[in-house]
Structure 1
Amino acid sequence: MPYPDELLVAGERVLTHQHPHPKMLVFPALALLVTVGGAAYLAALIAPAPWAPYGFWVLGLVALGLIVWCAVAPLLRWSNTHFVLTNRRVLVREGVLTRSGFEIPMNRITSVRFRQTVFERMLGCGTLSVESASDEPLDFSDIPSVTHVYALLYEVADAG
């Protein structure tokens, strides 16, 4: 999904628009599978009981609550977190119900660094650190293709 053009200023163009690396969705997916499997197992256990219809309702509500809390909410957070690099600024937007964000103009960036653990190198993601003229460094974690974004950001910041 491209970044909305109406949020850009005149002459600004998007160089990259990314969500965090999908690795952050592994545990929510596992939580979904464990919850569904556990609920099915418990449903089979309580099926012969005379109070089974009530137990199914309670079990269903608990399982639904766990699925929303452990799987759906992280998916919504992931899909509503944006890292955008334009030719003029770095933007981060996040939040589902309450939106927050910040931006750093290119002319204020003093240094750019990236870090990758061995596991992150295998996945192709990492942490990007951007230091501006007056602020302490801002770390953006789970950036996909972090070396490409680093090179792109360095190139644009150096050209400006």
Structure 2
Amino acid sequence: MQKKYSEHPAMFRNNPLGFILAVILIPLAVGIIILMVWYLKCKSTRLDFIGNDLVLERGLLSKNRTELDVSRIRTVNVYQSFFNRIFGVGRISIYTAGDDPEIDVSGLPDPHDLRELIKAEQDA
């Protein structure tokens, strides 16, 4: 199976002001802790589009894996604030049925590309 999309949430591009503040706090050692926790949180989340499935994996030691068949996806919502648009990241929410999203991930690079991939796969 071929991966069409595979990304972790971005750190700096997702929250540049928080990143700069954490770097400023490095001399107090608080910044290092903030950056390490943030880094691990970003690296423990991954969204993959493999074959005809959208796969969200969360966790470092214990894993939570959600798989969605693209043909069952009803709605893809992309939200980008002004700063998100400048840095090319956004929040993506994917709904299959009901009012709660099955997959909801913030800080993904190029969320509109993923939305277009899902639509193209549904049309094929």
Which TM bucket (shorter chain)?
Answer: 0.7 to 0.9
Deviation, structure 1 residue 155: 0.9
2:115 corresponds to 1:156: no
Structure 2: runs of 5 or more not aligned = none
Q: Any residues of structure 2 matched to 1:116-127 within 5 Å, and which?
A: 116-127=80-91
Query: Which residue number corresponds to residue 88 of structure 1?
Result: 52
Structure 1: runs of 5 or more not aligned = 1-11, 39-62
2:111 corresponds to 1:146: yes
Q: Higher Cα Rg: structure 1 or 2?
A: 1
More strand by share: 2
How high is the TM-score relative to the length of structure 1? 0.64
Greater length-normalized contact order (CA 8 Å, ≥ 6 residues apart): 2
Give identity over the alignment, percent: 23
Alignment length (residue pairs): 121
Deviation, structure 1 residue 35: 3.2
Q: Any residues of structure 2 matched to 1:98-113 within 5 Å, and which?
A: 98-113=62-77
Query: Which residue number corresponds to residue 58 of structure 1?
Result: none
Pairwise CA RMSD: 2.3
More helix by share: 1
Query: Which residue number corresponds to residue 5 of structure 1?
Result: none
